[in-house]
Amino acid sequence: MDREKVHKEYTNGEVTVVWQSGKCVHSAICFHGLPSVFDPRKKPWVTPEGADTKTIVEQVKRCPSGALSYYMNAKST
Ligand code: SF4
């Protein structure tokens, strides 16, 4: 991961994970906790298809720096 400040969003259609690189302290909590979604060796490093929405939200809440956040996508109907 580079140190440039980027704001990225990744969605599974239901929840959108937001990552702000400038806040990330590289604590590794996200990819140790949920490696099927958070894997810095991959590009993109977040694959929201890798777990269900509830699991993703719980992991995002454990990010100590606030680099990860999320919002629920608006329902289309
Ligand atoms: S848990 Fe948060 S601070 Fe830690 S590596 Fe993941 S995004 Fe960065």
pLDDT digits (tens, 9 = 90+) for 19-30: 999 999 999 999
Three-state DSSP at 33 gives helix
Given a cut of 70, whether residue 2 has pLDDT beyond it is no
Beta strand extents in the chain (DSSP E only) = 7-11, 15-20, 68-72
The chain-wide mean pLDDT, for the chain, equals: 94
> Could you tell me if the CB of 61 is within 6 A of ligand 1?
no
Answer yes or no: is the C-beta of 28 below 6 A from any ligand 1 atom.
yes
11 CA to centre of ligand 1 in angstroms: 17
CB-ligand 1 contact for 29 (6 Å cutoff)? yes
Nearest CA to ligand 1 atom 2: 63
Alpha helices in the chain (DSSP H): 29-33, 53-61
pLDDT band at 39 (very low <50, low <70, confident <90, very high): very high
- The answer to whether the bond into 40 is cis (omega within 30° of 0) is no
CA end-to-end distance (rounded Å), the chain: 37
Backbone φ and ψ of 14, nearest 5°: -115, -45
Q: What is the pLDDT of residue 4?
A: 74
Select the CATH number that applies to the domain covering 7-72 from these four: 3.40.190.170, 3.60.21.10, 3.40.50.11540, 3.30.70.20. Answer: 3.30.70.20
Q: Where are the domains of the chain?
A: 7-72
- The string of pLDDT tens digits covering residues 62-76 is 999 999 999 999 976
